[in-house]
Structure 1
Amino acid sequence: MIIAEDIKKMLRALDTNAGSKINERAKNRKFLRSEVKWPATIRAERGHACLHEEEREVTGIIKDISANGARIDVDGLFFEKNNLLLNIPKLGTVRCDLVWRRGNKIGLQFSEDPKRILEQLRKILPGIDDILS
């Protein structure tokens, strides 16, 4: 059908535009991200911008990481925003803030010095200097 072909063309055009926007954002990053699949836990402590009375914790998988942030697929919803603790078994615990959320995917910005994080990443990600600028 003609309508189905038009829709397919429109979807291909949207995919192309979305890909170029992602590439542009990646070029503008101070620290480029390295793709990983690391388990992690995010915790919001009671008294630190926690929406609940008790500490709240979710697990997830880090999809990419840089010296100043990470993208994570979490197991469940996570609404806390500031003063979070991200525990990465390979890296340790890093204080961070949530900067975006799309369903169960979240973006975190580390509150700690990117140089310190980069030093730690160099120990566990060979060739990271070739990835990060």
Structure 2
Amino acid sequence: MIIAKDIKKMLRALEVESDHIKTGTAADRRYRRADVTWSATIRAERGHACLHEEEREVSGIIRDISANGARIDVDGLFFEKNNLLLQTTQLGAIRCDLVWRRGNKIGLQFSEDPRKIHKKLQELIPGFDTLNP
């Protein structure tokens, strides 16, 4: 029988595992990031990446964004990883995957063509350009 203490241990192990994912430096990034404060929701749809039987959704604030990903502060824990849907007023719906998690901060990598997202970001954020075109 699994008890609460065992569940907490497993969750901590998952979090530690995700924290050890190697992340690149700012110099390694292909696309420029812009600091923003945009409300967003992230949803794992039933039949895709859900750990649960129903759809799971969490709200948060996008803190920085690039043509291929975003860093978000989420309200609560979010463990789903693949085939997620990020929804914002500014960009609409974007398919993405979770690539790292540290507490309530998560990093998403967009599944869509970065050129398409880059074009939208240029319209929304004046001077938004890639570092390496």
Using structure 2 for the length normalisation, give the TM-score: 0.80
- Cα RMSD, aligned residues only: 1.2
The answer for the alignment partner of 1:83 in structure 2 is: 83
Q: Describe the SS at the equivalent of 1:82.
A: coil
Give me the whole-angstrom Cα distance separating, in 1, the residues matched to 2:30 and 2:45: 29
Structure 2: tracts of 5 or more residues without a match: 1-22
Structure 1 unaligned spans of 5+: 1-21
Larger Rg over CA atoms: 1
Tell me, yes or no, if the aligned pair for 2:97 and 2:109 is still in contact at 8 Å. Answer: yes
1:63 aligned partner: 63
Identity, in percent, stands at 71
CA displacement at 1:104 relative to structure 2: 0.2
Quick one: distance in 2 between partners of 1:27 and 1:88?
Answer: 28
* Whole-angstrom distance in 2 between the partners of 1:48 and 1:70: 21
Q: What is the CA-CA distance between 1:49 and the residue it aligns to?
A: 1.5
Cα separation, 2, equivalents of 1:120 and 1:89: 12
Structure 1 runs of 4+ aligned residues shifted over 4 Å read none
Q: Which residue of 1 aligns with 2:54?
A: 54
| TM-score under structure 1 length normalisation | 0.80
